[in-house]
Amino acid sequence: MIDIEYIRTMARYSTWQNTNVITAGEALEDDERCEQRGAFFGSIQGTLNHLLWGDRIWMARFADTEKPRMGSIPESIGETDGWAEYCLARAAMDVQISDWAGSLDPAWLEGELTWFSGAMNRTVSKPKQTLVVHFFNHGTHHRGQVHAMLTAIGKMPADTDLPFMPE
């Protein structure tokens, strides 16, 4: 289904796009980033915090890294306290993801991962390859929501097309 090169490419893409939305978000005041805009996680800041939370929970499962600060999906919108903290945490998470992707043994992709899902309140097992695809898809989905919110207020991020990712 997927291979190491897919993972490395998607790690690079995620970093590129996280930087893209942060750059566009820099043009906003804190209250604009926190304004409720009708998205599932409410605001630009809330959605970005949820995405960071999701990356942290999956990396904790994939690579035994530190778990997110917040304990549940509803609480995920408070993963960081403010824009500056978010930007630092996002950059650090992107480095962790890139380092993981860069050193991943192809054998790791074989088999299933078992974890306790707080969202489902039970132990779950799924193929690792499926979970890695979900991990990157989750980020693309929520960055897309942020892109739409930014575009709606006239702060459109730069290109998002994978074929145009810088080398």
Is 0.85 surpassed by the pTM of this model?
yes
Q: Which domain holds residue 105?
A: 4-157
pLDDT along the chain (167 residues), means of 10: 96 97 95 94 97 98 96 95 97 98 97 92 96 97 96 92 90
Q: What burial class does residue 164 get, using C-beta atoms within 10 Å of its C-beta: 0-12 exposed, 13-18 middle, 19+ buried? A: exposed
Is position 46 within any domain?
Answer: yes
Q: Which residues contact 163 (CB under 8 A, 6 or more apart)?
A: none
Q: For residue 45, what is the domain's CATH number?
A: 1.20.120.450
128, 108 Cβ separation under 8 angstroms? yes
Is position 96 within any domain?
Answer: yes
